[in-house]
Amino acid sequence: MRGRSWMGLVLSALVLFGCARQEDPVVTSKTLLDHIQARGFLRVVTRYAPTTLYEGPDRRMGFEYELAVAFARSLGVVPRFVFRDGQEDILAALRDGEGDIAAAGLIRTPDMEKEFLLGPDYQEVDQQVVCRRGGQRPTDLPKLAKVKLSVPRGSIHEARLRELQEGVPDLSWISDPERSSERIFEQVVKGDVDCTIADSNVVDINRRYHPELVVKFPVHETQSLAWVLPSQAVELQQAVSAWFRAMGRTGRLGELEDRYFGSLSRQYDYVDNRAFIRRIDERLPDFIARFKDAGRRYGIPWPLLAAQAYQESHWDPQAISPTGVRGIMMLTQETAATLGVKNRRNPYESIRAGAWYLAEMRRRLPPEIKDPDRTWIALAAYNVGLGHLMDVREIVKSMGKDPNSWKSVREVLPLLANKDYYSNTKHGYAQGMEPVHYVRKIRYYYDVLVQREAMLNRRSTLLAQTHQPDDGATRMAQLDVPDLKNP
């Protein structure tokens, strides 16, 4: 009897102790970071957009996507992406435990900091009023109150409008349930609404393929973007902060920014971009099969070949320059003869030869140059000659910079026009600004083509899966969303 009583007390104590341990996170709960590393994957809440994540020609791409993949790799795990529409849905997913971090171009706000933990600032943006060229174009808040304004429902831009409404009571807007700036940009261009408000980085990207968009004025001081984490994820926040510091210190963060935003010109060229968008529809269909064929043959993304051809000739197979280069890839007579091109105005021959020549420039570069820098440097060599690029690499080395970085190379290329520099090189003088401009424009056109195709492919997939009419109003984030609530 006494033995059974003693045993009962022990069992009771163990049960009570066990219950206490379950309620005490300090004693029994692993941190979120521990769980992530134990299960082998990081759940990243994001959205489909040109500034975050989109489907490229052969893989996923996007600034936030690249950051998330690199951070997951630093933890020794793989990323799994949870897709939501806008800020309200993204934060709700984080709140409901469907994700570990939100990496979606979110602006840091005091309200957000009260509920969540945030990583360090990594990009600065402005909230801008954006309208349509030729339409209503207000120049201040009282005039903005007189136009048809639309913003994503639940967005930080709607919150800002509520603040501004205190000083401008007549200010009103449409709260768009689609919660997508990209969708509203289309409405602005079509004239369905007059204006919207969006972050400056999102505006810059979307003006590439909506050249009619016009920035009018900012409605908020410069703000910072940050990743958002659950309130209890202290160790994960520390890991994020340390990782971003390392990315900044090593220059990798700047390299990623340059990869996705480096082709944006500080001075927006409306005329050039409008003509490019028009020719995508009018001229590109005649040559796209040839670009794809040459791209497959020489291992080059077809949008890159198409972008290069546009920079060379605006997709005009009859083009000729004052110096005698001609055709859609603007080949010299000597290059054409070397490559066996009988007729430089034959687009098939010209595209094939241009693709081979670009592939050859890539092949002949030193192996330590990695992509995407290898591609940009090869394009510069296509334009100015491989010898001059090798000269520039030596100058870059002498300055203590990285000769394998396109950023360093493009900064030094203009010095080939300076006698103090070119007189000490093997290949002498060159107009070094020309290849810098050449590569910048090609990168711009390439980004437009990639993102435009990603949008079209995504819409086609959505229509196929939902059997809905192409009214542009369906929600992109409904696609390809794995069930990650209970991994």
In sign, the C-alpha dihedral spanning 412, 414, 419, 420 is negative
CB count in 10 Å sphere of residue 338: 12
Q: Tell me the two tokens of residue 365.
A: 């570069």
Measured N-to-C along each axis, helices 234-250 and 63-74 cross at an angle, to the nearest 10 degrees, of 110
**CB within 8 A of 367, min separation 6: which ones?**
none
Contact 366, 349 (CB under 8 A): no
**CB within 8 A of 224, min separation 6: which ones?**
107, 108, 121, 122, 123, 124, 125
Which residue's entry shows tokens 């973007």? 225
Strands 123-125 and 149-152: unpaired
Residue 178: strand pairing partners: none
Q: For residue 402, what are the CA distances in angstroms to 383, 395, 406, 425? A: 21, 10, 9, 18
Q: Tell me the two tokens of residue 332.
A: 């010299």
**CB within 8 A of 16, min separation 6: which ones?**
none
Catalytic one of 55, 158, 255, 312: 312
Q: Tell me the two tokens of residue 355.
A: 């693709």
| Annotated catalytic residue 212 | no
Contact 288, 306 (CB under 8 A): yes
Secondary structure (H, E, C), 289-328: HHHHHHHHHHCCCHHHHHHHHHHHHCCCCCCECCCCCECC
Q: Tell me the two tokens of residue 440.
A: 């910048």
Which residue from 426, 390, 425 is spatially nearest to 409, judged by alpha carbons? 390
Buried b vs exposed e over 366-404: b needs ≥16 C-beta within 10 Å? eeebeeebbbbbbbbbbbbebebbbbbbebbeeeebbbb
Task: Give the catalytic positions in this structure.
Answer: 312
